[in-house]
Amino acid sequence: MERVNDIDLGKFKVWNAITGTKQETKISATFFSLVRNSELQGMLDSIKYLNERFDNAKYGYSWVFANEEPFLETFIAAVRSAFTSGTPHFVQIPTEYWSYPDFIDQDKAAKERAKLDRERVMYAKSESYRHMCRFNSGFFFELDVMQQFRYYWRVEPNIKFQCDLPTDLFQEMADGGYVYGWTMSMPEGRKTVVGLWEASKKFFEENPSYVHPNNSMQWVSSSDGSEYNMCHYWSNFELGDMEFFRSDAYREYFKALDRTGGYFYSRWGDAPVHSIAVSFLADKLKIRHFDNTGYYHKPNQGCPMDDQLRKDLHCDCEPTKEWTWHKFSCTQQFYKLSGLEIPKLEPAEEY
């Protein structure tokens, strides 16, 4: 395929490509990384893994880097030099997306942080972690720079892709009309989501028209809605259709959660929030599992169990460490619920 010229049509870039008589439309999509200046090395490593495993030279997708502080020139220069195709954007997050809303009682928040710390919850004391979770729940898709894009693919520093990604995941999202894509799932720590289920249930009960008739709420509740089963898509890898996140349903859901103060009085993560939202508000057939990515984010590894598949995808991961299909993950339940076939091979029991 030969790229002839780019025509910028406002929101959507159209490629005039000669493929016989067919004109191909480029997907409006971007990688997205929230990252600190101090994480430069880890960010470069992640970019390197993607460059190696995903053919962005062919697709030329953009990459947005966001930070609540200004990016240092040294950060920008180093990241730029890692780019062989696609445009990197560096943006500072507006204060309104990374600060305490006026309805938060900050003394109460401090007391709750200390309490969670006594309960030995990870990141219990961290205020920035809470701003991060709130930003990733409700605001990343509202950034000015993101308005030109429809799909995003979140990439954190210090992740790995240890298998080839031979297809265009954005294209798969667009072709299938998927609203959300994920690779690993697992149960959340109970102490971080106190009140989240109640607030969510209240919202869905008050707004039944937002709940999708073909939803997958059973994936997040094994008791027909009475309790949260802690299952969530691990959002450090995720692809999404921002039309979903920019819908009235999602925006209002986030606002309702935010008003309860749970991001600051507890430590709600963006992963359970995205997962509960997608499970209630989306068609279950529009949630896409991307398997065999060889994705690694500490401490979990995805690695195809099938020897031939591992060879074909040039994976350099260790299959005994495979977590995706582990019985403690929630992946099998998703497949059962969606009527999909579960691969025959099971990960090692002892892991």
Which region, judged by CB under 6 A, interacts with ligand GDP, from 27-35, 70-78, 194-202, 299-307? 27-35
- Which CB atom, from 128 or from 167, has the smaller least distance to ligand GDP? 128
Q: Which of 232, 178, 177 is nearest to 200 (CA)?
A: 232
| H helix or E strand, kind and range, residue 134 | helix 127-138
Rounded to the nearest 10°, the torsion over CA 195, 200, 202, 204 is -170
- Which CB atom, from 28 or from 67, has the smaller least distance to ligand GDP? 67
For helices 248-259 and 196-206, give the axis angle rounded to 10 degrees. Answer: 130
Instruction: Sort 222 into a burial class: Cβ within 10 Å, 0-12 / 13-18 / 19+.
Output: middle
Beta-ladder partners of 258: none
Q: Which of residues 114-133 bind ligand GDP (CB under 6 A)?
A: 128-129, 132
Minimum CB separation of residue 62 from Mn ion in Å reads 22
Q: DSSP letter at 234? A: -
List 206, 238, 318, 341, catalytic entry: 238
Residue with tokens 């299959």: 319
Q: Which of 27, 29, 35, 184 binds ligand GDP (CB under 6 A)?
A: 35
Phi–psi pair at 160, nearest 5 degrees: -135, 150
Asked if 275 interacts with ligand GDP (CB under 6 A), we say no
- Which CB atom, from 200 or from 236, has the smaller least distance to Mn ion? 236
Asked if 168 interacts with ligand GDP (CB under 6 A), we say no
- Which CB atom, from 24 or from 45, has the smaller least distance to ligand GDP? 45
Confirm whether 238 is a catalytic residue: yes
Residue 203's identity, in one-letter code, is: F
Q: How far apart are CA 102 and CA 109, in angstroms?
A: 13
Q: Which of 156, 188, 238, 270 binds Mn ion (CB under 5 A)?
A: 156
Asked if 236 interacts with Mn ion (CB under 5 A), we say yes
Applying CB under 5 A, which residues contact Mn ion?
156, 236
Residues carrying an active site annotation: 238
Applying CB under 6 A, which residues contact ligand GDP?
33-36, 39, 67-68, 128-129, 132, 156-157, 236
